[in-house]
Amino acid sequence: MKAVAPGAWLGLLGGGQLGRMFTMAAQSMGYRVVVVDPSDHSPAGSVADDHLRADYLDEKALDELARRCAAVTTEFENVPAEALRRLAQHCVVSPAADSVAVAQDRIREKRFLAGVGLATAPFAVIEREADVDAVDATLLPGILKRARFGYDGKGQIRVATIDEVRAAFSSLGAEPCVLEQRLALDLEVSCVVARGFDGEVRTFPVAENAHSHGILDVSIVPASVSPELAHRARDATVRVAETLDYRGVLCVEYFVVAGELVANEIAPRPHNSGHYTIDGCVTSQFEQQARVMCGLPLGDTAAHCPSVMVNLLGDLWGAGEPDWTHVLCHPRAKLHLYGKDAARIGRKMGHYTVLDDDRDRAIATARAIRARLHADANAEPESQQP
C-alpha cells in the first residue's frame, strides 16, 4: 500500500467520542477529516474539518467520501457492512467489512474465539423459545445477551432460572441471544492491538478494568497480573487480529478466572480501556488508527509510566457543570471532555487520566479526584442548604 501523505482527506463513519479523539489525532499529523454522522451535534463532527449530516447508507454521502478521501475508517462496530463495501471499491477502508462482521454478532464471535483456541465462558445460543427449554442448567446463573447491537451493558439481563431466561428472552424482543454462564472473576483485563496493511503489529500494555452497571469505570495500567499472563493476553490478541486479517486498531476483553484468560468479546475499533494511551503512551491508539489507514509505520506503544483512566458519566452533572479544578489541581492529571450537548445518567461525557511513577499513588490520586467530583454532584444547591 502506498502511504497517504499529510494534507489528504480521511473519512470517518460515526460521530461519537472515539471519532472525536481520532479526528484530533489525525489533524495533529496534518490530515483533514470529514465525518459522516446523522446527528446535528456530534463530538466528532464538532471538531472535524467537514461534517456530512447523513445516514451511514446515504449513497450521496458515501459517494462524496469516496471522491474526497484517500482512506476511510469507522468509530463504532455497527456501521452497516454495505457502506464499507461500497467505499472499498474506491478507497482504502480500515477495517474491512468482513473483519468487522464477526464482532457484530455475539454468536459468530463466540464461535470464532473458540475456533482460534481461546477459552470462553460456557454458553448456549438462544434463537427461539424452544432453545430455552433445552438450556443446560449448569449455565445458570448466567447472563442473557442480545447477539447484536449491545454495548455498555445494554441488551444484557442477569438470569438465575429457566423461567428468568424465558422472560429475559421475551423482554429482549425474542431476538437471537447468547446465554453465558456467570463466572467467578479474579479481575478483567483488555489488550489493544494495531495491525497494518503490511502485517506489522504493535500491542499496547494490558489494562486492568473495573465496570459499574455494565459501563467501564476505571482502567489501570499496568494490570495487576503476572508478566507471563500479560504476555499471553498480548499474544492472544495478535492471534485474533491475524486470523481476522484485520487492518486497524482492535481490542479484546478478557476475564481472568482462577489465574487463566477467558476471552469475553472483540471490539473492532479503538476502545474505552485504551484511552489512557493518549497521555500514557508514546503513541496513542488513535494516532495508531491514523497510521494504519494511511499506510504509515506503526508507532511505539511503550507506556511512559503507570496510569489510571476514569470515565466521567453524566451522573456528575447533577448539580450543574462539575468543578474541573478537582482534576486539574493535580499536575499529572489530564482532563478530556467530549463536547456532548447534554448530560444524561450513564452517558459518557469525558474521562481523566492520572499519571504517576508509582502505580498505587496514581490509583489513590484518581480515587481522591473522583470522591471530590461525586461529593459535589450529590450536594444540595446552596439555596437549599441550612
Provide the b/e sequence for 75-108 (b: ≥16 CB within 10 Å): bbbebeeebbebbbeebbbbbbbebbbbbbbbbe
Do residue 222 and residue 148 come from a single domain?
no
Angle between helix 81-88 and helix 59-68 axes, rounded to 10 deg: 40
Contact between 378 and 325 (Cβ < 8 Å): no
Q: What's the pLDDT tens digit per position in 275-318?
A: 999 999 999 999 999 999 999 999 999 999 999 999 999 999 98
CATH number, residue 137: 3.30.1490.20
Q: What's the pLDDT tens digit per position in 167-203?
A: 999 999 999 999 999 999 999 999 999 999 999 999 9
Do residue 177 and residue 294 come from a single domain?
no
Sequence-distant (6+) residues with CB within 8 A of 90 are 66, 67
pLDDT beyond 50 at 68: yes
pLDDT beyond 50 at 382: no
Transcribe 18-49 into DSSP letters: HHHHHHHHHHHTT-EEEEE-S-SS-TTTTTSS
Percent of the chain with pLDDT over 90: 91
**pLDDT value of residue 319:** 83
Write phi, then psi, for 99 (nearest 5 degrees).
-70, -30
Overall size of the chain counted in residues = 386
Do residue 259 and residue 347 come from a single domain?
yes
Do residue 174 and residue 191 come from a single domain?
no
- Domain hosting 135: range is 122-181
Domain boundary among 146, 162, 181: 181
Q: What's the pLDDT tens digit per position in 20-67?
A: 999 999 999 999 999 999 999 999 999 999 999 999 999 999 999 999
Do residue 223 and residue 164 come from a single domain?
no
In a domain, 327, yes or no: yes
HSE (side-chain half, CA atoms, 13 Å) at 40: 1
Contact between 52 and 64 (Cβ < 8 Å): yes
In a domain, 386, yes or no: no
Do residue 202 and residue 255 come from a single domain?
yes
Domain boundary among 156, 181, 206: 181
Do residue 203 and residue 222 come from a single domain?
yes
The Cα–Cα gap between 386 and 384 comes to 7
For residues 60-79, give the mean pLDDT. 95
Identify the band that residue 381 occupies on the pLDDT scale cut at 50, 70 and 90.
very low
Location of C-alpha cell 423461567: 163
CATH number, residue 226: 3.30.470.20
Alpha-carbon distances of 199 from 193, 242, 286, 292, rounded to whole Å? 12, 8, 18, 10
Would you state the cell numbers that stand for residue 198, as one nine-digit string? 503490511
In a domain, 49, yes or no: yes
Domain boundary among 166, 181, 196: 181
Do residue 254 and residue 166 come from a single domain?
no
**pLDDT value of residue 151:** 62
Location of C-alpha cell 489512557: 276
Contact between 45 and 15 (Cβ < 8 Å): yes
Straight-line distance from the first to the last Cα atom of the chain, in angstroms, rounded to the nearest whole number: 68
